[in-house]
Amino acid sequence: MAIIKFHNVGITAMSACVPSKVVSNRDLGYLIPEDEIEKTINNIGIEERRIADDDVCASDLCYKAAKQLMEDNNIDPASIDVLLFMSQTADYRIPATAPLLQHRLCLSKNTCCIDLSLGCSGFVFALSTAFAYASMEGVNRVLLLDGETFSKICNKRDKVDWPLYGDGATATLIEKGDFEESTFILKSDGSGANAVIIPNGGMRNPTTADSLIETAREEGNIRNDLEIYMDGMEVFNFAMSVVPKGVKEIAKETGTTLDDIDWLVFHQANKFMTDFFAKRLKFNMEKVPYCIHKYGNTSSTSVPLTIVSELKDKLKKGDQVVMCGFGAGLSWGTARVVFGDCKISPVIEY
């Protein structure tokens, strides 16, 4: 178990950008029987999603979010010491996307730029990385950009995955300052790697002509081997076994109780699952924010997007926020962050 604690670093600003294109799940009659659409929406909690245009990448959404954050907080581009880009939908396999964003944002060539890639737990893991860099001598500001465009790797005729995924991006500024202790608990289980996977396109199974052939899979779902597959039941069982336990572990490790948590922010996988977590924990549902109904499952972006979209006018200095991410890998992470003065910008559209 990786238990990591940080002192005197924290989040000072956040922003988010989503595509302007809205896709309603009530228009999925071609994929789901009409008499089952409302039931499906009620179960997963997703009424609509934001879908990026064909020529818009995760980095484009991150760029807009970063510009908004920097403008709203009068951030000098030269003051950013480290730029982290968290995504599973990067611009290219080579080069990394972070240097491209450094250039586009007019950051200094002295900026350390790194790409990170993980599943729906990604923001919690990446935030721990940002805190680690910000804790170092010689580093004062870290800009964490987290963006995903899963619509580009999901088949529109896959009735398991297509109703779930949306696109979005966030920017988070981490700095040194007078902050309370932050704690991260990060875990992984690679034995469940096949639960969420794109089978081809990597070095293990390179892309071939056959990779592009769409075929009917389990329960008639259509996709090719360059598109995402998720075993929904395996992910559900995995999450049920680790997420509530993770919340209790973070409370125990920090010497607090569940009642001390002001906001419990889960990865927005589906509403039934998140409701189940809160009920198992006997946690006050009014302190569990949701944005899944209007943005869908935005993978690693969902935790910060929930904070920006739902807590902008509610998050106060001193609030204890517990964040929980879980997904492909398999990997899961829980973090407790006590917020100081954090400027949250309104969600913008691209």
Interstrand relation of 141-149 and 82-86 (parallel, antiparallel or unpaired): parallel
Contacts for 338 with CB less than 8 Å, ≥ 6 apart = 10, 179, 180, 181, 182, 318, 319, 320, 321
Which tokens go with 67?
Answer: 């510009």
| Structural contact between residues 93 and 131, judged by C-beta atoms closer than 8 angstroms | no
Judge whether 267 counts as a catalytic residue: yes
C-alpha span between 338 and 350 (Å, rounded) = 31
Tokens matching residue 125: 């893991």
> Is residue 99 reached through a cis peptide bond, with omega within 30 degrees of 0 on the bond before it?
no
| Residue 110 CB partners (closer than 8 Å, separation 6+) | 81
Q: Which residue has the tokens 């008499």?
A: 35
DSSP strands (E only) in 218-272: 222-223, 229-230, 263-266
Burial state string for 148-169 with b = 16 or more CB within 10 A and e = fewer than 16 = bbbbbbbbbebbbbbbbbbbbb
Q: Is 325 left (phi over 0), alpha (psi -120 to 50) or beta?
A: beta
Helix (H, G, I), strand (E, B) or coil at 23: strand
Conformational region of residue 209, where left means phi above 0, alpha means psi within -120 to 50, and beta covers everything else: alpha
Q: Residue 260 carries which DSSP code?
A: G
297 carries an active-site annotation: yes
End-to-end alpha carbon distance in the chain? 39
**Which one of 57, 113, 120, 154 is the catalytic residue?**
120
Q: How far apart are CA 341 and CA 345, in angstroms?
A: 13
User: Which of 25, 155, 270, 297 is the catalytic position?
Assistant: 297
Instruction: Decide if 17 is catalytic.
Output: no
Q: Which of 17, 154, 155, 267 is catalytic?
A: 267
Residues belonging to the active site: 120, 267, 297
